[in-house]
Amino acid sequence: MRGSAVIIGAGIAGLATARGLLRAGWAVHVLERSPGLPSTGTALGMWPEAVRALDRLGVGEQVRAASVEQRGARLLRPDGREIARLDLERTVRLVPRPALLAALAEGLPPDVVAWNTLVADHRALPGTDLVVAADGVHSPTRAALFGVAPRPLGTGALRGTVPGPADGTTETWGPARLFGITPHDAGHTNWFASVRADVLSSAGSGRTDPQILRRLYGDWHPAVRRVLDALGDTPIDRRTLLDVPPLPSYVEGRTVLLGDAAHGMAPNLGRGACEALLDATALVDALTAAPDVPEALRRYDAARRRPTTRTVRLARLANSVSTARHLLTVRNAVMAAAGSLV
């Protein structure tokens, strides 16, 4: 089946869907409120199934070329002692978000994306066979269709990149906060911090982000301090972490939710963007194979809602365990046992 689609949002979900639908012969328009593709951003972990989805969208090679491999990770205590070592059987690729978005946008006809175009109400869009709401975790479309807003996880995140290569991937868990370090590219290190909201707000009053980070992590092991010393005036993205409660459907009439609009989740499993790519290829497959749009959307909902709802739940649990305040010895022992099982 072929037809016409309007996509709200030119993030990972929106651009991946646009690419897939154009390749399947659909007429596509993407409406994006921001003025263009971002030029800065941190690295995203891409699991093998997401890289396969990128292959199917024709951009796997570009993303591989722009990414670095991650084969294992170490979980550490704040003093640097190891809690567990995770040797991943499956290779994760770390790709800077701007490189991923640029690859997805590369080669799209110039009139496909309308930048600086805010969609206030999806119901006011002109007639089309399909409306794809890829408008992120704060999705106005989800709010209008299901009255569901994202809910705070009780943690905040700060993240950025600093000059200098990373020596492997580590996540360090302390009381009520964690600090992660991964490679970004050959010459830069990606870092992220997740902190219980009350601890972040009491550390934050009257301080700049680098000052907050030094206050929370300044006495942690040398690899963390090396990142703090390199912060300079590098940009820091700070946000309240949210996820999306389970929805009764990802579909309403001819409108379909994808990516964070459908299942925004805690970042702790590194799955949100991967799931957005899997949504895009599942939707394109369903639209290609089904006799009409309602049947295709029914198949998409059946394929994607249950697994992604489960991942949202697991990511919430991982967020809570990794920033726990109490029973840290028990937590670390469980993680050590789990690490040796992996």
Ligand X SMILES: Cc1cc2nc3c(=O)[nH]c(=O)nc-3n(C[C@H](O)[C@H](O)[C@H](O)COP(=O)(O)OP(=O)(O)OC[C@H]3O[C@@H](n4cnc5c(N)ncnc54)[C@H](O)[C@@H]3O)c2cc1C
Alpha carbons within 13 angstroms on the beta-carbon side of residue 125 total 25
Between CA 117 and CA 8 the distance in angstroms is 9
Candidates 288, 297, 295; CA nearest to 258 is 297
Q: Which is nearer to ligand X, 195 or 296 (CB)?
A: 195
Q: Work out how close the CB of 41 gets to ligand X at its nearest, in angstroms, rounded to a whole number.
A: 9
Contact 182, 161 (CB under 8 A): no
Distance in Å, CB of 29 to ligand X, minimum = 12
Identity of the residue, 33 or 221, whose beta carbon is nearer to ligand X in the bound complex: 33
Structural element, H or E, at residue 211: helix 209-217
Nearest to 97 by CA among 253, 272, 251: 272
Nearer to ligand X, 171 or 260 (CB): 260
Q: Which of residues 45 and 295 has its CB atom nearest to ligand X in the complex?
A: 45
* Distance of closest approach, residue 159 Cβ to ligand X, in angstroms: 5
**Please, which residue, 32 or 252, has the CB nearer to ligand X?**
32
- Least distance from ligand X to the Cβ atom of residue 12, Å: 4
Q: What tokens appear for 74 in the block?
A: 């170490």
Q: Which residues contact 178 (CB under 8 A, 6 or more apart)?
A: 171, 172, 193, 194, 195, 322, 323
The type of residue at 33 is: R
User: Residue 295: which region, alpha, beta or left (left: phi > 0; alpha: psi -120 to 50)?
Assistant: alpha
Q: Which residues contribute to the site for ligand X (CB under 6 A)?
A: 8-14, 31-34, 44-45, 118-119, 134-136, 140, 157, 159, 192, 259-261, 267, 270-274, 276
For ligand X, the closer of residues 3 and 41 by Cβ is: 41
Instruction: Report the half-sphere exposure of 208 (CA within 13 A, side-chain side).
Output: 8
Specify the residue, 197 or 334, whose C-beta has the smaller distance to ligand X. Answer: 197
E strands, 186-219, in order: 188-196
- Asked if 200 and 57 touch (Cβ cutoff 8 Å), the reply is no
Q: What is the 3-state secondary structure (H, E, C) of 227-251?
A: HHHCCCCCCCEEEEEEECCCCCCCE
Q: What is the per-residue DSSP string for 25-69?
A: T-EEEEE-SSSS--S---EEEE-HHHHHHHHHTT-HHHHHHT-EE
Q: What is the CA radius of gyration of the chain?
A: 20
Q: How many other CB atoms sit within 10 Å of the CB of residue 73?
A: 21
The nearest distance, CB 81 to ligand X, in angstroms, is 25
Residue 291 C-beta: closest distance to ligand X, Å: 28
Residue with Cβ nearer ligand X (112 or 334): 112
Q: Which is nearer to ligand X, 80 or 272 (CB)?
A: 272
Minimum gap (Å) between residue 94 Cβ and ligand X: 8
Q: How far is the CB of 148 from ligand X (least distance, A)?
A: 15
Q: Closest approach of Cβ 264 to ligand X, in Å?
A: 7
